[in-house]
Amino acid sequence: MSVVEVDRLVRDFTVREPVPGRRLRRRARQVRAVDGLTFTVGPGEAVGYIGANGAGKSTTIKMLAGILVPTSGTVRTCGTDPVRARRRLARRIGVVFGQRSQLWWDLPLAESYDILAAIHRLEPARARRRRAELVEELELGGFLATPVRQLSLGQRMRAEVAAALLHEPELVVLDEPTIGLDVLSKQRLREFLVHERGSRGTTLLLTTHDMGDVERLCERVLVVDHGRLAYDGSLSGLAATVAAERVLVVDLAEPVAPLQVPGTRHLGSEGDGVRQHLAFDPTRTTAAAVLAQVQRAAEVRDLSVAEPDIEDVVRRLWSRSR
Ligand SMILES: Nc1ncnc2c1ncn2[C@@H]1O[C@H](COP(=O)(O)OP(=O)(O)OP(=O)(O)O)[C@@H](O)[C@H]1O
C-alpha cells in the first residue's frame, strides 16, 4: 500500500489585490497553487519534492498533513484522509517546517519533548528510550535545559527533527529542513536522516532548494512547476536531462537584440541586451565554439559559464513534457 497517494489534486486560493488607479478598491483573484497533481509514494521511499519559488510545494505538503483542505481531487496519507483523520494521522507522520517551530520557545528543550510525548500518549519507557536515542544521534545532550529561543538555528533544527521523530512516525515530511544552516549542520542533519531511514525504513518526503539535500537523501525526485508535475523519476535521470546543459553569459559592448546562435537556447537578456544568457549542451558543442559564434554578431567584453538554475531546469522539463 502507498504511504502517500495523490490523485488529480487541486488547491485554489483567493487573493485580494489592488485595482490600478483605484486606491481603496481591491478585487479578488483565484490563484491555482496546485493544479491536478497525481503521484504516489511507496513505503521506505525517499522522495525530493523540488520546484521554483511559488511552485506549490508547501501547499501540497500542507494538504498531505491535513493542514489544508484540497479544492478538488483526493489525497490519502498513510491510508487515511488527512483532514478527516488528522489526529490519528498525527501519530503516524512527523512534519518539520524549516521556517516554523513546533517547540515551545520559552521552555527548556526537554520540556517540549515531555509535552510531545504526552500529546502522542507515548508509553513512558518507550518515550524515554526514543528520546535518549535521538538526543545522542542529533547531539542535543548539551541543550536539553536550554530554552528553545536561545538555541542557534542549527541546534534548533536538530531539535525540531527530534521532536518530529519522537513518536517513531512511518512518514517524515520535511519542508526545507536545511534552509539557512551552515555546511557542517547540514551535513550532520543529512547523515542523521540517512541513518534513520536506513535503520527504520522510514518514508521521507522533503522539499528543498538545495540540490545537496536531494543528492544525499533522495532516490526519487518530483519536480513541480506552477502546481503541475514536470518530472517524476530518478535523480540520475534528472541529472542526465538537466545537468547536461551549461549557460554561457556574455557581456557585450553595446545593447544587442536577443542572440540567435545555432545549437543554443536564448534564456534571457539584461540591460536591454548588454548581458545575454545562452544555454548549450556541452556534449554537442563547447563554450569556446558558442563564444566564437557570438563574437561574429557582437563585441564581447566579458563572459562566464554557469550551471542553469533550478527555475530554468523546471521550465525546461516542463516544456519537454508538453
Ligand atoms: N494562504 C495563501 N493565500 C493565497 N495564496 C497562497 C497561499 N499560500 C500559497 N499561496 C500561493 O500559492 C502558490 C504556491 O505557493 P507555495 O507556498 O505552495 O509554493 P512553494 O513551492 O512552497 O514556494 P517556496 O519555495 O517559495 O516556499 C504561490 O503563488 C503562493 O503565492
Residue 317 lies in a domain: no
Report how far Cα 55 is from the mean position of its chain's Cα atoms: 10
Query: Domain check: are 58 and 187 in the same one?
Result: yes
Task: Answer yes or no: is pLDDT of 318 > 60.
Answer: no
CATH number for the domain including 248? Answer: 3.30.70
Domain around 104: 4-240
Query: How sure is the predictor about 181, in pLDDT bands with cuts at 50, 70 and 90?
Result: confident
Q: Is residue 162 part of a domain?
A: yes
Q: 67: CA distance to ligand 1 center in Å?
A: 14
- Kindly state whether residues 268 and 219 are assigned to the same domain: no
C-alpha cell recorded at residue 75: 489525497
Ligand 1 atom nearest residue 227's Cα:
14
**Residue of the nearest CA to atom 23 in ligand 1?**
54
Domain count within the chain: 2
Closest CA to 135 of 118, 155, 115: 155
50 lines ligand 1 (CB under 6 A): no
Same domain, 261 and 176: no
Question: What is the rounded average pLDDT for all residues in the chain?
Answer: 89
Question: Is residue 142 located within the same domain as residue 235?
Answer: yes
Residue having the nearest C-alpha atom to atom 1 of ligand 1: 13
Cα–Cα nearest to 217, from 177, 165, 162 = 177
Separation of alpha carbons 148 and 162, rounded Å: 13
**Is residue 322 a part of any domain in this protein?**
no
Given this model, what pLDDT does residue 317 score?
63
| Judgement on whether residues 98 and 142 belong to the same structural domain of the protein | yes
pLDDT score at 314: 63
Q: Is it the case that residue 315 has pLDDT exceeding 80?
A: no
Judgement on whether residues 8 and 91 belong to the same structural domain of the protein? yes
Residue 281 located in a structural domain = yes
